[in-house]
Amino acid sequence: MIAGAHPRTEPFPAGPSPFIPVPLTQGGEGRRAFRGAAPCSGLVPEDRRFPRRPGEFRFPLAPPPPPPAFLRPAPGSRLPVPCPLPRAPGSRFPAPGSRLPAPGSLLPAPCSRLPAPCSRLPAPGSLLPAPGSLLPAPGSGPGDAAALLPGVTGPPARGPRSAALRQRPPPAPAPGQHRGRGADVRLFSAVRRAGAKGTRGNPDVRKKFLTVRVAKHWRRLPREVMDVPSLETFQVRLDRCAGRIPEAEAVLDLLEKCPEHQKKGGFPVIVFEGLDATGKTTVTQAVKDTLNGVLLRSPPACISQWRTVFDDEPTLVKRAFYAAGNYILASEIAKASTQAPVIVDRYWHSTAAYTIATETSGEVQDLPPVQDEVYQWPEDLLKPDLVLLLTVDPDERVRRLQHRGLQKTKEEAELEANNLFRQRVEESYRRMVNPACQEVDASPSKEEVLKTVLQLIKKHCAF
């Protein structure tokens, strides 16, 4: 976060490596140093580099490309006046019940960014809803909070990639999994089965039971969070907001350079997870030094300068950014693990755990149930050999946070202020599966924690 901030870690005493030494090292700076810096700008084309603070600059350096042909008006036709939809009095939204223009007409810029009421209507891939269709009242429809967020829903923004993404068939479901929409279908069928057993011969009871269970789940997690995660899902989501957030386009450009379905090399890949200030930076640095390994982190250095932009976005956009970072990181892991052991400071489990905890409220009992699909690893994301979850007694963690004295992220402030949020993040980590986390008590001294961690690595990873 603060470029050039003081180092986050104190060095471990140097010692002989218990593993085969590999003469390759990389990384080693405290992760905060990467926030706000542009460490691998070489990867980013010159016209895609952005200044580091959000608000300094919000539009691409080049003028925006002309709208695709299908959005342009027919020759000789008159452009509509700035917003053809009548506004509700005192509102930025069209009045409920107002009629939409004919399909194919050009939505001018201000209207094309209209949130929920407009963006929810078109069928996937279609330009506009049927002529004369009625706009729903703002906020109506299923309790899908995400659908009400600008830039989260609606057709992808623009460009040839958008068209390609739109034309691609939806990703095939995993074996035994329902397609795409996922959670609602899956949950519904699960409840149907339970209802059928417990309420045989009493359809009224079943009806009530179904309604209550499904509605409750919808309120807790937006459907998009429950969607089966895949590279394509996150590309589509970033593409949808690329017109508004130029950095999303830059992330997509980097993603396109990463081969799909990355495979791990012959060396072990070990991930460290945990709440902020549990000692990940400290221990990952020490393990990397001990094993002569490569240290990588999520989000990877080449996109971390845009964190501040995405951290201020709605959860689903933010999650798409961090998830995209994981796929870019996967290609770095694939390459590095052909040369040396790879130590990773945060990966998919962090993206999932923070999203789940942010999108839920209340106590850990209110999280999606154990074995829910939200705790699954994405099918198309390179898997590590071992994931170690560092946990620390809450008081000790607060002491470490204070000792560190760095500027806090929104989540860190939330973790400090909101005990329930902290518990939800940690419990979500614990519920992750395939691969699951191995919990390590990181409350003891740095030397003891390193010893424990090295023993676990020796036990679980082949060298």
Ligand X SMILES: Nc1ncnc2c1ncn2[C@@H]1O[C@H](COP(=O)(O)OP(=O)(O)OP(=O)(O)O)[C@@H](O)[C@H]1O
Ligand Y SMILES: Cc1cn([C@H]2C[C@H](O)[C@@H](COP(=O)(O)O)O2)c(=O)[nH]c1=O
The footprint of ligand Y (CB under 6 A) covers: 31, 276, 298-299, 322, 346, 350-351, 354, 409, 411-412
In whole angstroms, the minimum distance from the beta carbon of 358 to ligand Y comes to 8
Alpha carbon 3 to its chain centroid, in Å, reads: 24
Least separation in angstroms between residue 70's CB and ligand Y is 35
Among 4-12, 158-166, 170-178, 356-364, which window interacts with ligand X (CB under 6 A)? 4-12
Task: Residue 385: name the closest of 270, 462, 290 by CA.
Answer: 270
Q: Is 391 exposed, middle or buried (0-12, 13-18, 19+ CB in 10 A)?
A: buried
In the bound state with ligand X, the residue whose beta carbon lies nearer, of 199 and 452, is 452
Considering the complex, what minimum distance in angstroms separates the CB of residue 456 from ligand X?
Answer: 15
How far is 461 from 463, CA to CA, in rounded Å?
Answer: 6
Of the candidates 281, 298, 337, 360, which one interacts with ligand X according to CB under 6 A?
A: 281
Q: Which stretch, 146-154, 202-210, 359-367, 443-451, contacts ligand X (CB under 6 A)?
A: 443-451
User: Beta-carbon neighbour count of residue 308 at 10 Å?
Assistant: 17
CB under 5 to 8 A by kind: which of ligand X, ligand Y, none does 105 bind?
none
In this complex, which beta carbon is closest to ligand Y, that of residue 83 or of residue 398?
398
Q: Which does 289 bind (CB under 5 to 8 A by kind): ligand X, ligand Y, none?
A: none
Give the alpha-carbon dihedral of 196, 198, 199, 200, to 10 degrees.
60
Considering only 99, 186, 244, 404, the residue that binds ligand X (CB under 6 A) is 404
Site string for ligand X, 10-39 (x = CB under 6 A): x--------------------x--------
Q: Shortest Cβ distance from residue 69 to ligand Y (Å)?
A: 38
- Phi-psi category of 444—alpha, beta or left, where left has phi over 0 and alpha has psi -120 to 50? beta
Q: Please say which residue, 374 or 415, places its beta carbon nearer to ligand X.
A: 415
Name the minimum Å distance from CB 408 to ligand Y: 8
Binder of residue 403, out of ligand Y, ligand X, none (CB less than 5 to 8 A by kind): ligand X
Report strand pairing: 438-441 vs 342-345: unpaired
| Residue 83 · residue 111 · CB < 8 Å | yes
d(CA 117, CA 96): 8
CB 317 to ligand Y: min, Å: 12
Write the CB contacts of 256 (distance below 8 Å, at least 6 apart in sequence): 161
Judged by CB under 6 A, the number of residues near ligand X is 19
Look at residues 416, 409, 379 and name the one whose alpha carbon lies nearest to residue 182.
379
| 215-220: Cβ within 8 A, 24+ apart | 215/143, 217/183, 217/184, 217/187, 217/368, 218/142, 218/143, 218/144, 218/184, 219/143, 220/359, 220/360, 220/361, 220/366, 220/368
User: Is 206 or 346 the residue whose CB approaches ligand Y more closely?
Assistant: 346
Stretch of 154-162, 167-175, 280-288, 369-377 lying at the interface with ligand X (CB under 6 A) = 280-288
Please report, as residue ranges, which positions from 42 to 101 form the binding site for ligand X (by CB under 6 A). Answer: none
Out of 167, 365, 434, 445, name the contact with ligand X by CB under 6 A.
445
Is 296 in contact with 343 (CB distance < 8 Å)?
A: yes
Scan for tokens 């009629």, then name that residue. 99
Rank residues 162 and 282 by Cβ distance to ligand Y and give the closer one.
282
Residue 277 near ligand X by CB under 6 A: yes
What residue 449 binds from ligand Y, ligand X, none (CB within 5 to 8 A, per partner kind)?
A: ligand X
Identify which range of 48-56, 143-151, 224-232, 442-450 contacts ligand X by CB under 6 A.
Answer: 442-450
114, 115, 111, 102: which is closest to 73 by C-alpha? 102
What DSSP designation does 435 have? T
For 146, the 3-state DSSP assignment is helix
Task: Confirm if 356 and 368 have CB atoms less than 8 A apart.
Answer: yes
By CB under 6 A, residue 368 contacts ligand X: no
Question: Stretches 170-178, 272-280, 302-310, 322-330: which one binds ligand X (CB under 6 A)?
Answer: 272-280
400 binds, among ligand Y, ligand X, none (CB under 5 to 8 A by kind): ligand X
Provide φ and ψ at 386, rounded to 5°.
-150, 135
Residues in touch with ligand X (CB under 6 A) = 8-10, 31, 274, 276-282, 400, 403-404, 442, 445-446, 449
